[in-house]
Structure 1
């Protein structure tokens, strides 16, 4: 449960910061005559919604397995990441659309005061702080929803950079810089949204563990006493963790009990030595010289 506590703590901290930033940005935009800063404040407010989504996802994910969910609820984190990616895409498209409208209606771009510029710089410092503390915890506990939330903080920071360029340009008389910066920032946000959407979609469709993890697992299994070869290997992501299905070949002359002990040792080693593997199922088959030559993973074709 420690991973969920870490996620909850950093998310609550982000919510508090975002509430303060959203209010300050909107007020600064209204007083400082800056539509860009008002829009940026609304973008910050969307971070509150996504962070609340992460909290809800964590509450669901840490629930133990039940009759309807035999494998637990960890995919709630991936589902939240999927939803957050859609939010990022919508936010990015909205910023881009509004910026394009201003690009063809420069008369609507007002000259702002210094206040929103100062608030923008302060906002970037806080948003980058949020990104770094969130992504650090996300990588530590391998949380897809928290990674998505971290990139939402970074998108808000990029949005503020665009707003500052626009505000500074407008103050210097170059009003066109405001909408151009907005379009560029929107493209960055949309790209991040697409990346998270692709990752979360793969995980929802039982995406396999990555190649590095798979190679480590294969070598570990083949180095386990009693294992001749690996006839089959399947894996699937389940939120921040994964399940593995293995078929190993053992000496055909040993007893059922001895074969069971080898399979048990394989399971224990995988769970102990490879991070984020939640469960392992090992099927045992008798070793046969001809059939094992056909095994995908055997000691002859693996570089130890």
Structure 2
């Protein structure tokens, strides 16, 4: 199996695994927080439980992305379906902005989400604390897989897990101070919520910007381009190249360029050089999905005309 195909299969399997665990955790914790919040009369924990269940939308979206983005080319999608990943990233980013904006708004309104101090005790605080620990661990796990697989989609979902841990942190702090010191400490929840939610909006904005850039075929960072270029002129018959272009397709890259080869090569030999250069690039970079090479003769006039030097 080629390295690029193996990389895609590995990324799909690991991404689905961590997302399925996230879905299971969100469902379990969400139900637990709703039951305890309803039983103990704490609206803060109840609202946090609803948020955890809403995270299921993000998890399902990621699973759909892994299913459809790896579908092969068909009659209506000649370049495959990998950009579906960028669409899901955009969806998750917008979902994060909406939720975090709601948190900021709630921090500056007079709506009191917790009024019944008598019903509170250790149990709601412990549940919120467990939720915080589990969702923070899920964030770091998903983030680690995303960095290993270089997956912007998983990184976006990791930050969505972080939004839940931020929410649980605010709830835990609120419940603790109300339980120990009374409702006068509610303002700390507002301050903490506003600060952390603003940070989430900033991170979500980066996700939205990056997904839009990918959908617009914006070139990747210069260091990525330079790293890809290093493998082009490793063949003795590859003299120079120009019109080098890279675009993001989901979590992968498409590369195309014009390769100038020794002028006296036959068509077959030129084709072989092109194939060798392409394979060298694919072997060195499993995250590259396709390489398109246009062969040209490396004549002196042609090199001068193109402004290329060997």
Q: Same fold (TM over 0.5)?
A: yes
Q: Partner residue of 1:136? A: 144
Distance 1:293 1:85 in 2: 47
> In the alignment, is residue 46 of structure 1 matched against residue 59 of structure 2?
no
| Aligned partners of 2:107 and 2:194 also within 8 Å | yes
**Where do 4+ consecutive residues of structure 1 move more than 6 Å?**
none
Question: What residue number does 2:96 align with?
Answer: 88
Equivalent pair of 2:83/2:249 in contact (CA under 8 Å): yes
Aligned residue-pair number: 297
Aligned twin of 1:218: 229
| Contact kept in structure 2, 1:124 and 1:161, CA below 8 Å | yes
Deviation at 1:297, TM superposition (A): 7.0
Indicate if the aligned counterparts of 1:81 and 1:145 stay in contact, CA closer than 8 A: yes
Is 1:168 matched up with 2:176?
A: yes
1:193 partnered with 2:181: no
**1:6-48 deviations in Å (ceiling 9; x for gaps):** 2222211111111111112122323334332222222211211
Matched, 1:252 2:263: yes
Aligned twin of 2:30: 22
When structure 1 is superposed on structure 2, of 202-211 and 80-89 the one drifting more is 202-211
Corresponding residue number in structure 2 for 1:73: 81
Q: Is the 8 A contact 1:230 1:296 kept in 2?
A: no
More displaced, 88-97 or 137-146?
A: 137-146
Residues 165 and 291 of structure 1, relative CA distance in 2, 3 Å threshold: farther
Query: What stretches of structure 2 of length at least 5 have no aligned partner?
Result: 1-8
Cα distance in 2 for residues equivalent to 1:297 and 1:10: 47
Calculate the TM-score normalised by the size of structure 1: 0.89
Change in 2 beyond 3 A, CA 1:240/1:90: same
CA contact (8 A) 1:8 1:58 kept: yes
Post-superposition shift, 1:251?
Answer: 2.3
* Aligned equivalents of 2:52, 2:127: Cα separation in 1: 13
Aligned twin of 1:101: 109
Q: 1:57 aligned to 2:65?
A: yes
Render the CA deviation track for 1:138-162: whole Å, top value 9, x for unaligned.
2333333222111111111122112
**Greater mean alpha carbon deviation, residues 288-297 or residues 32-41:** 288-297
1:36 equivalent among 11, 24, 44 = 44
Q: CA deviation at 1:132?
A: 2.3
The change in CA–CA distance for 1:100 and 1:231 in structure 2 (over 3 A counts) is same
Deviation at 1:110, TM superposition (A): 4.9
SS in 1 for 2:126: helix
Residues 186-219 of structure 1: per-residue CA shift (max 9 Å, x gap) = 2122122111111111111113233222112212
Q: Does 1:13 align with 2:24?
A: no
SS in structure 2 of the partner of residue 229 of structure 1 = strand
**Residues 169 and 269 of structure 1, relative CA distance in 2, 3 Å threshold:** same
Q: Judge conservation of contact 1:32–1:114 (CA < 8 Å) in 2.
A: no
Does residue 299 of structure 2 align to residue 280 of structure 1?
no
Q: Distance in 1 between matches of 2:38 and 2:225?
A: 54
Q: CA deviation at 1:286?
A: 2.1
Deviation at 1:229, TM superposition (A): 1.4
Per-residue CA deviation, residues 118-169 of structure 1 (Å, 9 max, x unaligned), is 1111111110221122222223333332221111111111221122222233
Which residue number corresponds to residue 238 of structure 1? Answer: 249
Where does structure 1 lack aligned partners over 5 or more consecutive residues?
300-304
**Root-mean-square deviation over aligned CA pairs:** 2.2
Give distance in 2, aligned partners of 1:153 and 1:298.
50
